[in-house]
Amino acid sequence: MLKFEFRPYTRRFRSLLLTRHGAWSVRQGILLRLSDSLGNQSWGEIAPIESFGSESFREALRFCADWFQAGSGRLDAETIEQIPAHLPACRFGFESAWEQLHTSETEQPPPISWSMSLLLPTGGAALDSPLLFSAQPGNTLKWKIGVAPIEQELDWFTELISLLSPTTKLRLDANGGLTWQQASRWLQVCDGYGIEFLEQPLPPQQFEAMLKLSQRYQTPIALDESVTSVAQLQDCYQRGWRGVFVIKAPIAGSPGQLRNFCQTHPLDLVWSSVFETVIARQYVTNYLMPACPTTRAIGFGVDQWFQDGWDRLGAAELWRSALTPLSRLSPF
């Protein structure tokens, strides 16, 4: 039996993050700390994104509070396996913390260094971003589309391309916000510029249409919202998807099942952020990515979106920074 504690956190974005799903101003999540009777500790993180189909922050918090009360803050491996499928971020948080507590350093694969994809501000603001000029040669930038009229976005796109160094790669992300005609238009343009890939052009329910698009254009298409959970990832693979898969491990459910599927299938992967803290990120980079490597830049270049300095902290310091312990939480 292990003891667990949890602490909710709130991080404010430096500026509003605009996507097709709306404007995001704060990132709320929950940090977990597990400890055994010998005093060993590990940390986990629950970082849900409701608009991507995971539980909401409040649902996750309610689950932690109820679970804490029911088991007096104690848990074992079986109880983690019983976390229901509609709470994938909770499953990730608890299972990843559990695994880290039960893995000695010598069992861990050595860390690998990865190239990073940096997220540009959305819309015309991208044209003024310092990232355009500070990116290292060979870096990858990502730009969200599908948030303004297509003619306007195509104009910005042409200007953006003209500002990039020839070695910088660009990937686009529509967050499922395009129509068939708009997606075709974007893909035609992308083919002319050698864009790395177009991410989630259509909503997840239009899987067949995306499959057709992927066969018509050279620019690869990446599924993101379509493959949020391990079950969806398996489903899209079985239905014939051989394009890119964007993996957001902290909302995918069981990390063990995710690793197993990725290790046993030849997937073209992009590991991607959900604006988590270093706690979830280090687990992904140290425990998942070495087991399922990819040559594509990882989508973790999001530190510049926060100004709280948390990215320079270790897990124990973060735990101290994320106050609001259970006893001080107002009813929710």
Tell me the longest C-alpha to C-alpha distance in the chain: 62
**Angle (CA) 250 89 255, round 5°:** 55
Q: Which is nearer to Mg ion, 153 or 173 (CB)?
A: 173
A 10 A CB-CB count for 306 gives 16
H helices, E strands: number in the chain: 11, 12
Distance CA 195, CA 101 (A): 41
Which range, of 58-66, 103-111, 140-148, 165-173, touches Mg ion by CB under 5 A?
Answer: 165-173
Q: Which is nearer to Mg ion, 99 or 199 (CB)?
A: 199
Which range, of 8-16, 199-207, 233-241, 313-321, touches Mg ion by CB under 5 A?
Answer: 199-207
Which range, of 71-79, 115-123, 192-200, 324-332, touches Mg ion by CB under 5 A?
Answer: 192-200
Which range, of 123-131, 193-201, 204-212, 257-265, touches Mg ion by CB under 5 A?
Answer: 193-201
Which range, of 75-83, 172-180, 189-197, 316-324, touches Mg ion by CB under 5 A?
Answer: 172-180
Q: Which is nearer to Mg ion, 45 or 224 (CB)?
A: 224
3, 169, 212, 248: which is the annotated catalytic residue? Answer: 248
When binding is defined by CB under 5 A, the residue of 95, 173, 196, 276 that contacts Mg ion is 173
Q: Which is nearer to Mg ion, 31 or 244 (CB)?
A: 244
CB of 268 to Mg ion, least distance (A): 15
DSSP string, 158-222: HHHHHHS-TT-EEEEE-TT---HHHHHHHHHHHHHHT-S-EE--S-GGGHHHHHHHHHH-SS-EE
Distance CA 308, CA 313 (A): 10
Residues from 64 through 93 that contact Mg ion (CB under 5 A): none
Residue 110 burial (C-beta neighbours within 10 Å; 0-12, 13-18, 19+): exposed
Q: Which of 230, 204, 298 is nearest to 91 (CA)?
A: 230
In the chain, which ranges are E strands? 2-19, 22-35, 41-46, 74-75, 116-119, 140-144, 169-173, 198-199, 221-223, 244-247, 268-271, 298-301
When binding is defined by CB under 5 A, the residue of 199, 229, 250, 289 that contacts Mg ion is 199
CB of 175 to Mg ion, least distance (A): 6
Measured CA to CA in angstroms, residue 201 lies from 162, 174, 206, 222, 319 at distances of 23, 5, 10, 8, 38
- Tell me, yes or no, if 169 is annotated catalytic: no
Q: Which is nearer to Mg ion, 55 or 224 (CB)?
A: 224
CB 145 within 8 Å of CB 195:
no
Q: Which is nearer to Mg ion, 4 or 92 (CB)?
A: 92
Total residues interacting with Mg ion, rule: CB under 5 A = 3
- Tell me, yes or no, if 3 is annotated catalytic: no
A 10 A CB-CB count for 25 gives 10
3, 144, 169, 212: which is the annotated catalytic residue? Answer: 144
CB 96 within 8 Å of CB 287:
yes
CB of 244 to Mg ion, least distance (A): 11
CB of 267 to Mg ion, least distance (A): 16
CB of 302 to Mg ion, least distance (A): 12
196 binds Mg ion (CB under 5 A): no
x/- track of binding to Mg ion for residues 202-231 (CB under 5 A): ----------------------x-------
Tell me the catalytic residues.
144, 248
**Residues that bind Mg ion in the complex, under the rule CB under 5 A:** 173, 199, 224
